[in-house]
Amino acid sequence: MARVAIVTGGSRGIGRATAVKLGARGDAVVVGYAGNADLAAEVVREIVGAGGQAVAAQADVADEKQVAALFDLAEQTYGGVDTVVNSAGIMVLSPVADIDLDDLDRMHRTNIRGTFVVTREAARRVRDGGAIVTISTSVVGLQLPSYAGYAASKAAVEATSLILARELRGRQITVNTVAPGPTATSFFLDGKDQETIDRMAKQPPLERLGTPEDAAEMVAFLTGPQGHWINGQTIRSNGGII
């Protein structure tokens, strides 16, 4: 019987690459998306076209009723939930002195509250032996100017994941965080000039930006049998930038 994965933020970027990767290895995938139904449908078609199983579902990760419905769909369609990857997130950059508090609240609603809502549901519903993965950022360690609000929200994600891993003792469920470095997605690239992109690409010793597939490979490892001994960790998948 196929394992069942829920991937939030699954319509683009790292979430999309993760959904496709898990579908290719045989998982039945529920592709969660916030608003772009067309992009989510493309992901489903890609997975199904390659012989996999997938369905798309809209859910605001900070809305507990919508997230519960996402898990209901997975259980009703595929019989249960084994893997949850919370890739949904937003980023607003600003110096602390200038930050718009509405932007800060919006970012923390998705990144912090959304993580709590999704992982709370996962803690209740993931079958024993499963895996939960959250997505952070290497900026938590790099501490770059203008990233304070975003980094603070993701530091909360890392702390929550470690504590949840300890709380799930006895159920053989792993909880880990993947923290990519600069990654060539619209999420990272939008609003940056080419000089900034080139400079950041040169930072890691491997001298390139990460790809969504780099992060997806790590998620696949952590949620597969080979990675099951890794638990309560934040993996900085960033080419050696820190």
Phi and psi of 58, rounded to 5°? -80, 135
Specify if 186 maps to a domain: yes
Predicted local distance difference test score (pLDDT) of residue 113: 98
User: What's the number of domains the chain is made of?
Assistant: 1
d(CA 39, CA 213): 17
Burial of 76 by CB count in 10 Å (0-12 exposed, 13-18 middle, 19+ buried)? exposed
Instruction: Residue 36: give its domain's CATH number.
Output: 3.40.50.720
Specify if 242 maps to a domain: no
What residues make up the domain containing 72? Answer: 4-235
Specify if 163 maps to a domain: yes
Predicted local distance difference test score (pLDDT) of residue 58: 98
Mean pLDDT by 10 residues, the chain (242 residues): 94 96 98 96 98 98 98 98 97 96 97 98 98 96 93 97 97 97 75 78 86 96 97 95 76
Nearest 5 degrees, angle CA 145-CA 118-CA 213? 60
Q: 108 CB contacts (<8 Å, ≥6 apart)?
A: 149, 152, 153
Specify if 241 maps to a domain: no
The answer to whether residues 178 and 135 touch, using CB atoms and an 8 Å cutoff, is: yes
d(CA 191, CA 185): 12
d(CA 185, CA 198): 14
Predicted local distance difference test score (pLDDT) of residue 202: 85
Predicted local distance difference test score (pLDDT) of residue 207: 84
Specify if 151 maps to a domain: yes
Predicted local distance difference test score (pLDDT) of residue 187: 66
Active site residues: 150
- Residue whose structure tokens are 């949840």: 164
